[in-house]
Structure 1
Amino acid sequence: MPQRRSHVAPSAAQTELAAALAALRETLEAPTDFPVEVLAEAETLTAPAPELDLRDLPFATLDPAGARDLDQAFHLERDGDGYLVRYAIADVPGFVVPGGAVDAEARRRGQTLYAADGTIPLHPPTLSEDRASLLPDVDRPALVWTFTLDSDGAVTDFRLQRALIRSRAQLDYATTQRALDAGEGGPAALLPEIGALRLEQERRRGGASLNLPDEEVVRTPDGGYAIERRSPLPVEEWNAQLSLMTGMAAASLMLDAGVGIIRTMPEPDEAAFEAFRHQTAALGRPWVGGTYGEYLRGLDRADPMTLPVLEAAASLFRGAGYMVFDGEAPKDAVQAAIAAPYAHATAPLRRLVDRWALAICLAASAGEPVPPWVRSSLGDLPALMQQSGQRASQLDAATINRVEAALLTPLVGRSLEATVIELRGDRAAIQIADPAVTATAPVPADAKPGDILRLRVVRADISEGVVEFAV
């Protein structure tokens, strides 16, 4: 779907919204300021000097515009009929001292939180946005994955090494997509080619990507807030394939070593598949053949019925978690949506668990023992990540609810067109195009997904993020 932006301009509603968002942080007990001892320790931390020097290779990063916490950098080149992909990850395991103040605070936070009124980082900015970040034109220690791919994009060999790198370019998605569409060269020139091959590898192994439109609250130049809803650009999907490839390699290394933490998701049961089939038939886009991954890949993103189908498909992508093992690899280690074992190992600046995975992978790749601090604390990670994941989900949902209430405040008493996305008893998930709002509302007994209704805005409470409608 095309990008849509709904804007809350500075006003009385805007002032109320700012107060509601500030109060939300306290309600969720989201940590904000770092303790003095954490900031002091962060200023002293240094990573070990790598023996391998890869500064002659023109690495580049690819992130949202303006990002400073740059976890990954890539270097792509042809290798005969295949490709050589180097994927550098910020060396957070090298910087953070196990058992230190920064380590303890990171365990308390779990992950970086992205609030509408500012980021709540996992690590102090001196690390996450400066000395450990893979910023351009500065030397940085990194953990570099080197992948050899054949002409079909399949991985034939890989290794992980600590190295010194120097990124040459900080790319952003929109600008890079325009450059690639125009046929321009540059560090991402091979990304469409390699990304397409990796997507085909995903299809062959039976993987599936949901790729729901992103819904994000952003600040606007005039000091207001906006909700942006857009589908990922192709360059984002190609870039994500590099991360998926790395996560699968990390899981492979840990499974071979018999110690690690992997990301799991169970295969949907037949009841879930049958319910999804009924929903797609009701939407007029029946799933009649092939795997659910092939069906989702074949949806027309310009079709207005695609969003309700994707919302319905979300029921197939549930139950994700973490599995810890030490001594014996689990027999069932496949992440169902990816259709392969998979681990989080590419975002250590922003996600706690990645530091452990990378430390294990580095040791396994070098044939060395896993560090004792990793083994002794590995079992703590699932609970820590579950807690931080719940906090992040609550923050995201509550933030969007409050901004949507602010968008609808001036429209109380008026009627708007809304599309039914998913039925929930006598209510339904509905989407309003302008302003861009997704909510729940009462619907007629004969309503079905895809129907367009007229709903009246009865109430919009910014402080609680509550909106009420009537048919």
Structure 2
Amino acid sequence: MPRRLMHLSDAAEAALRTALQQLRAELEVRTEFPAPVLAAAEAAVAAPRLPDEDATDLPFFTIDPPGSKDLDQAMYLERRPGGGFRVHYAIADVAAFVTPGDALDAEAHERVETLYFPDGKVPLHPPVISEGAASLLPDRTVPALLWQHDLDAHGEVTRAHVRRALVRSRARLDYAGVQQAVDAGTAEEPVALLRDIGALREAVEVARGGISLSLPDQEVTLEDGSFRLDYRAQLPVDGWNEQISLMTGMAAARIMLDSGTGILRTQPPAPNHEVTRLRLIAQDLGIDWPHHVSYAELIRRLDPQDRKHAAFLNEATGLLEKSVYTPFRDHRIPELTLHAAIAAPYTHCTAPLRRLVDRYAGELCVAACAGQDPPSWVLAALYGLPCDMARGRGNAVGRRSVDLAEAAVLMDRVGEVFDATVVNTDVEEKPSKPNEGTVHMAEPAVIGRVTAGSALVLGSRVRVTLKRADPSFSGRHKILFSLP
């Protein structure tokens, strides 16, 4: 789907800024760090716990959105003599700066994760750590958890190991720049190998039955003082980069399971009745879904630029149940170890600057690879981590920020008629309300609720009238369309 930018008027920007301030207050977001936490951060930066191993000879690089400073991951990719590949993957070592039980640690357990608002982020750790001493910014020597993945010529992992080391990134790259360089054939080999390894890992994902939805994301950004609302379609490099992270999360899960202590990200398989429901929707939309074709395979065949496919993909996002954190220790392996969408055991371990649980997962893997017992402070917190992470508000902030931006974009256009596609109907959950659902607009980049005078048809092209667009509306739907 092409990317479309929507600039907000002065009035809309003012309404959005006010609404975002209200959202922070409503979610009780701690925007400032207490003085003792800031003092602890300064002290930690002055005296970090540094590893003995020096791996600064490896020319790491990072790939992140332009302007990012909290860089969790850096990589260096190379071919192995005799065939295959080696992936060196450095993860920020937050534990080098945070002492268990200190003010920094307590504050991180309160915040749980970094929150990204359109007009700025609320970080998990003070910026002197998250955007400074612990971040894998270029031309700085920093402590890291250094993963080494050995892959065969088909992209299968033959060995994975992690230890502490000092690393030094040489370049801070962004997704668009890497994509352009790879497509043009001008990327240096360690960067160009990301395409080769990423493509192989994507093929491995297909073979194991992993699910990858390709709907574009709605984003709200603040650039040069102006808010923008747009759809961001994923570039191939996004997928290649994600495969490195997924590979590491799967390797970490396997290390934890083998060691007998860990915390997994688990997700049960889709219930049979949900698969049946999706098959009926595919039939209604005219999408061919042979019985021998899996759900994961079908998803990969669909084109999100086709409105009927987009409607199906929108429905498909609800097929799988919510994933949860599942801790275990002393070889008491949980009954469910699989993450259904990934089709393998998996854990979060690659974003410790932005997510609390990753610091603990990293520590468990380092200890296991060194043949040591897990640190006592990790074991003490292990079974409380799912409750901690359940308090995270990142998803709510993302969705509600987009809701606010959508309403601000349209607040001066009530009464206008727009082209849209029906991407969801309430008939499955509310049989008595077949005339309520959701519509997707290409321009402006808005998804909104609609009520109609007759039953809505999933995937149909419609013309809707805007009845409400109010960023300050306290009800569930800030935007409401109608269809005669």
TM-score tier (shorter): over 0.9
Which secondary structure does the structure 1 equivalent of 2:91 belong to? strand
8 Å Cα contact 1:256/1:329 also seen in 2: no
Is 1:372–2:372 an aligned residue pair? no
Matching residue within 394, 406, 416 for 1:392? 394
Q: Once the 2 structures are TM-superposed, how far is the Cα of residue 459 of structure 1 from its aligned partner?
A: 2.0
Query: Is residue 24 from structure 1 mapped to residue 23 from structure 2 by the alignment?
Result: yes
Structure 1, 277-286 or 197-206: larger mean CA deviation: 277-286
- In structure 1, what is the Cα distance between the partners aligned to 2:181 and 2:250? 29
Structure 1 residue 3: Cα displacement: 1.3
Q: Residue 119 and residue 98 in structure 1: after superposition, are their counterparts in 2 closer, same or farther (change >3 A)?
A: same
Residue 157 (structure 1) aligns with: 159
Q: What is the DSSP-based 3-state SS (H/G/I as helix, E as strand, rest coil) of the residue aligned with 1:190?
A: helix
- What is the 5 A alignment of 1:91-110? 91-110=93-112
- Helix, strand or coil for the counterpart of 1:44? helix
Matches within 5 A, 1:134-149: 134-149=136-151
Tell me the C-alpha RMSD between the 2 structures.
1.3
Letter in 2 for 1:2: P
Query: Which residue matches 2:33?
Result: 34
Matches within 5 A, 1:227-306: 227-288=229-290, 289-306=292-309
Alpha-carbon distance in structure 1 between the residues aligned to 2:371 and 2:48: 21
Q: Cα deviation per residue 1:263-317 (whole Å; 9 max; x = unaligned)?
A: 0010001101111111122222232232111111111244233321211111123
- Distance in 2, matches of 1:203 and 1:333, equals 20
TM-score, structure 2 as length reference: 0.94
- Cα deviation code 1:160-200 (max 9, x no counterpart): 01011110110100111111110112231101100011011
In the TM superposition, what whole-angstrom CA distance separates every residue of 1:7-29 from its partner, at most 9, and x where no partner exists? 213x2232122111111100111
Alignment partner, residue 123 of structure 1: 125
Amino acid at match of 1:49: L
TM-score, length of structure 1 as denominator length: 0.97
Aligned counterparts, 1:391-410, within 5 A: 391-410=393-412
State the one-letter code of the partner of 1:22: Q
Contact 2:418–2:464, Cα closer than 8 Å, also in 1: yes
Deviations 1:226-272 (A, max 9, x none): 11212211000000000000000111111111111100010001101
Question: Which sections of structure 1, spanning at least 5 residues, go unmatched?
Answer: none
Task: State the partner residue of 1:90.
Answer: 92
Q: Amino acid of the residue matched to residue 53 of structure 1?
A: D
Deviates more, 1:196-205 or 1:277-286: 277-286
**1:400-426 residue CA offsets vs partner (Å, 9 max, x unmatched):** 111111111121111111110011132
Structure 1 range deviating more: 52-61 or 287-296: 287-296
Match of 1:15 in 2: 14
Matches within 5 A, 1:6-85: 6-9=6-9, 11-45=10-44, 46-79=47-80, 80-85=82-87
How far, CA to CA, are the matches of 2:336 and 2:456 in structure 1?
41
- For 1:248 and 1:184, how far apart are their aligned partners in 2? 31
Equivalent residue for 2:482? 470
Q: Secondary structure at the match of 2:318?
A: helix
Pairwise CA distance, 1:444 = 4.3
Q: Which residue of 2 aligns with 1:442?
A: 451
* Equivalent in 201, 204, 208 of residue 201 of structure 1: 204
In 2: Cα distance, 1:402 partner to 1:203 partner: 37
The answer on 1:5 being equivalent to 2:24 is: no
Q: In structure 1, what is the Cα distance between the partners aligned to 2:471 and 2:336?
A: 46
**Matches of residues 350-361 of structure 1 in structure 2 within 5 Å?**
350-361=354-365
Query: What are structure 2's unaligned runs of at least 5 residues?
Result: 427-432
Q: How many residues align?
A: 467
The residue aligned with 1:215 is 218
Shift of 1:31: 1.3
1:377-396 CA deviation, whole Å, 9 max, x = no partner?
A: 111110111111xx222222
The whole-number CA distance in structure 2 between the counterparts of 1:220 and 1:92 is 30
Helix, strand or coil: the match of 1:355? helix
Q: Decide which moves more: 301-310 or 76-85.
A: 301-310
Residue 103 of structure 1: how far off its partner (Å): 0.5
SS at match of 1:360: helix
| Aligned equivalents of 1:13, 1:199: Cα separation in 2 | 41
Deviations 1:339-387 (CA, angstroms, capped at 9, x unpaired): 1100000000000000110011110000011100110111111011111
SS of aligned partner of 1:411: coil
8 Å CA contact 2:56–2:166 kept in 1: the answer is yes
Instruction: Report the residue type matching 1:466 in the other structure.
Output: K
1-structure distance, mates of 2:353, 2:117: 17
Percent sequence identity is 46
Give CA-to-partner distance per residue, 1:194-233, whole Å, 9 cap, x none.
0011011111111111233111110132x22111212211
Matched position secondary structure for 1:180:
helix
Structure 2 residue matching 1:457: 3-state secondary structure: strand
Structure 1 partner of 2:421: 419
Partners of 1:4 and 1:263 in 2: CA distance:
34
Moved more, 286-295 or 159-168: 286-295
| Matched residue type, 2:153 | S
